[in-house]
Amino acid sequence: MQFAGSHILSVEQFARGDVERIFAVADRMEPYAHRRRVTRVLDGAILGSMFFEPSTRTRVSFGSAFNLLGGEVRETTGFEHSAIAKGESLYDTARVLSGYSDVIAMRHPAAGSVAEFAAASRVPVINGGDGSNEHPSQALLDLYTIKSEMAGRGRGIDRLRIAMVGDLRYGRTVHSLCKLLRLFDAVQVTLVSPRELAMPADIVEEMRAGGHQVVESDAMEASISHVDIVYATRIQEERFTSQAEADLYRGRYRLNQSIYTHHCEPNTVIMHPLPRDSRDHARELDDDLNDNPNLAIFRQTDNGVLVRMALFALVLEVVEQVDRHARDVNWYTARRF
């Protein structure tokens, strides 16, 4: 695809070569993300960051990625602080805010809303999550993490064995990740969820039609024994009509060190898009895994910055200029990665 000036709304817009291009650019962002070098390539550029749903890492990592490229960030968070609370349409908001920004990152609770906003925007829009539909930058950072974890084991993404566990119905990260995995060869996906929270049938059908093996199950332990990756997810309580309904499912699947030791192959990678629900009645990914070297959740969050820097560099077409506007940092970098 042509990245320059394009919206990034769905992973369905990528071919395998596009994903590989994004990952190659992400690799080149490492000295900047790891604070050994600074670049001013986006000096003067403005990111409009509009998050109409709770967000910590997606919002902050989009902002950090833009700052690390030398640009500035203007933030709108929550409907209550925006004119949408006065009845303004997405069309008008997009026309106005795209006049103040060079690129926009947006999250919104309604599926399809970011695409509707993008249609009216005068600058590229990156989808930071639209309801339970898609979360393309998360799927890219997840896949980038999978690629690097598997490389450490002498493997690639082709023929990956992955179990996705939890709320597969409303979890937009697993929707986008499944669609992205279709671009690779002979992936084996085990989908573990309560029957009511199963992966949407169209996503399952398209994976199978692409020659991938998909197994659906409601039993976690048996499903995580022969996989390379266990990808746990949170029950998306904000998509349920009541907390009581979400309570039916919270805590149904819990991965902890003892279950991992008894059921997983020794090198199985543990992933989660975060936030993990650490309250006692949930705990889908227990804190007792924190010292497990195969827990990749904070490598995922670190990789989010690299991948989002790559998206900005490609969409604003500065990839080849990044290093020309760079120098070493002035300060002592004590951070260890």
Beta strands in 25-112 (DSSP E): 37-39, 46-51, 72-77, 103-108
Closest distance between ligand NCD and the C-beta of residue 129, in Å?
5
Of residues 93, 127, 138, 223, which one binds ligand NCD by CB under 6 A? 138
Is 71 among the residues that bind ligand NCD (CB under 6 A)? no
Residues in the interface with ligand NCD (CB under 6 A) total: 12
Task: Return the bridge partners of 256, or none.
Answer: none
Tokens of 127: 């989808």
If 0-12 CB within 10 Å is exposed, 13-18 middle and 19+ buried, where does residue 152 land?
exposed
Nearer Cβ to ligand NCD (101/236): 236
Is 136 among the residues that bind ligand NCD (CB under 6 A)? no
| Annotated active-site residue in 7, 39, 58, 169 | 58
Q: Is 108 assigned a catalytic role?
A: no
Is 57 among the residues that bind ligand NCD (CB under 6 A)? yes
Q: Is 107 assigned a catalytic role?
A: yes
3 state SS of 205? helix
Closest distance between ligand NCD and the C-beta of residue 117, in Å?
17
Q: Is 135 assigned a catalytic role?
A: yes
Residue 102 — φ and ψ, nearest 5°? -100, -20
Nearer Cβ to ligand NCD (29/285): 285
Residue type, 140: L
Of residues 7, 108, 135, 308, which one binds ligand NCD by CB under 6 A? 135
Kindly write down the DSSP assignment for every residue of 109-159, as one continuous string.
SSTTHHHHHHHH-SS-EEEEEETTTB-HHHHHHHHHHHHHHHHTTT--STT
Nearer Cβ to ligand NCD (11/41): 11
Closest distance between ligand NCD and the C-beta of residue 32, in Å?
22
If 0-12 CB within 10 Å is exposed, 13-18 middle and 19+ buried, where does residue 79 land?
middle
Q: Which residues of 247-268 are buried (b: 16+ CB within 10 A; e: fewer)?
A: eebbebbebeeebbeebbeeeb
Closest distance between ligand NCD and the C-beta of residue 265, in Å?
26
3 state SS of 258? helix
- CA–centroid distance for 152 within its chain: 21
- C-alpha atoms less than 13 angstroms from C-alpha of 320 in its C-beta half-sphere: 2
Q: Which residue has the tokens 């907390």?
A: 243
Is 58 among the residues that bind ligand NCD (CB under 6 A)? yes
Closest distance between ligand NCD and the C-beta of residue 236, in Å?
6
Binding mask 154-173 for ligand NCD (x = CB under 6 A): ------------------xx
Cα–Cα distance for residue pair 235/293, rounded to 1 Å: 25
Is 129 among the residues that bind ligand NCD (CB under 6 A)? yes
Chain residues 224-283 in contact with ligand NCD, contact rule CB under 6 A: 234, 236, 273-275
| Annotated active-site residue in 86, 262, 281, 335 | 86
Cα–Cα distance for residue pair 280/171, rounded to 1 Å: 21
Closest distance between ligand NCD and the C-beta of residue 334, in Å?
27
Nearer Cβ to ligand NCD (135/212): 135
Cα–Cα distance for residue pair 7/14, rounded to 1 Å: 12
Nearer Cβ to ligand NCD (28/239): 239
Closest distance between ligand NCD and the C-beta of residue 59, in Å?
9
Where on the chain is the footprint of ligand NCD (CB under 6 A)? Answer: 57-58, 129, 135, 138, 172-173, 234, 236, 273-275
Which residues belong to the active site?
A: 57-58, 86, 107, 135
